[in-house]
Amino acid sequence: MATTSTPFDVQELMSRFMFDLAAIPLFSVDPNLLSMYMPPMEAAVALDTVMEVAFLRLMMPASCWKSMRWLNIGPERKLKAAHTVLGEFVTEMLERRKINTCPVGNDEEEEVVDIISSFINDPDYADDDLGQAMIISYMLAARDTVGTTLTWLFYNLTQNPDIISIIRKELSPVASRKVAAGARAMLTFEPDDIESLVYLRATLYETLRLYPPAPLEIKMVAADDILPSGHKVHAGDTILISILSTRRMKSVWGNDCLDYNPSRWLTEDGNNIRYVPSHKFLAFNSGPRMCLGKNIAIMQMKTVIAAVLWNFDVQVVEGQSIQPKPSCILEMKNGLILKLKKRDM
């Protein structure tokens, strides 16, 4: 793509990349969605459908979507089909995993450590439906949040070339050490290489602030209560919190809350990330419900950003309609078409 400047949808590419990256530690099997022939990704599309229909359920009375489910019409019909596709995908991955872990000798069996083993060996998840639901939840969490964030990040960087320059300047000493050590062609960066790069992390945080991959937070009221705002809530009520809106409030983030400004995350000397409490910046939730994969997600995104920006110039194709999709995940409705060009260094 970089050699021929062929336009491509970075959202689809990130979806394929993260789908494979999520499935490998889960099943010890590579779905190969990122292979050169770009196979159909029915399971990934089915995951998108699940999130879109979940969003629609929130926007209508329960009686409406339950009626559609009973009649098997509209979005509920699509959801049923998506569940079938996902069920077939999980079954296929489990079968491929069994083949890959078959005995390799008379008394020797290959030891494979993966996440699915925990479910298979745990009696609490012996029920097939529960186990499948847990697997799908993991795939959603691992794929959607990272892939969506990277798409919005690359879009914003194309609109702010000065930020790209700062990140490259920060990467330069690391790249120089790699070249001196014998690295050739395109450089990749290990997590330890870029752990101390504060502006790179600040850019990632600023993307998560303005474009939270999970823009809604849903809570069920356990008992009658009064919120700090004075609003009364009753047991069984559903509270819908717009995380997207809280990230764009002047009272929380200042008058420049709508500006894409990674520097807001830096301390005055610019050498460290400024502390922001998790209840203000809910990118990875807060308290006991803090995302277990937070550090892994940050590591994955930073290594992708560093490799792309150091090796390529990124250009957005003009004339696109950039808008979010109505979904529980803040994807772009029409994707994002980019062009890459190998940097002259």
As annotated, the binding site for heme includes 291
Tokens of 142: 């691992």
Give, in degrees to the nearest 5, the angle at Cα 300 between 296 and 304.
Answer: 170
Binding-site residue positions: 291
- Alpha-carbon distance 77 to 98, whole Å? 32
* DSSP letter for each residue of 163-195: HHHHHHHHHHHHHHHHHHTT--SS----HHHHT
Strands (E), the chain: 8-9, 216-220, 225-226, 232-233, 238-242, 312-316, 337-342
Tokens of 308: 């792309």
For residue 315, what are the β-bridge partners?
Answer: 339
Neighbours of 256 (CB within 10 A): 10
| DSSP run (H or E) holding 301 | helix 294-311
The residue whose two tokens read 């008379």 is 106
Is-contact 17 34, C-beta < 8 A?
A: yes
Is-contact 221 235, C-beta < 8 A?
A: yes
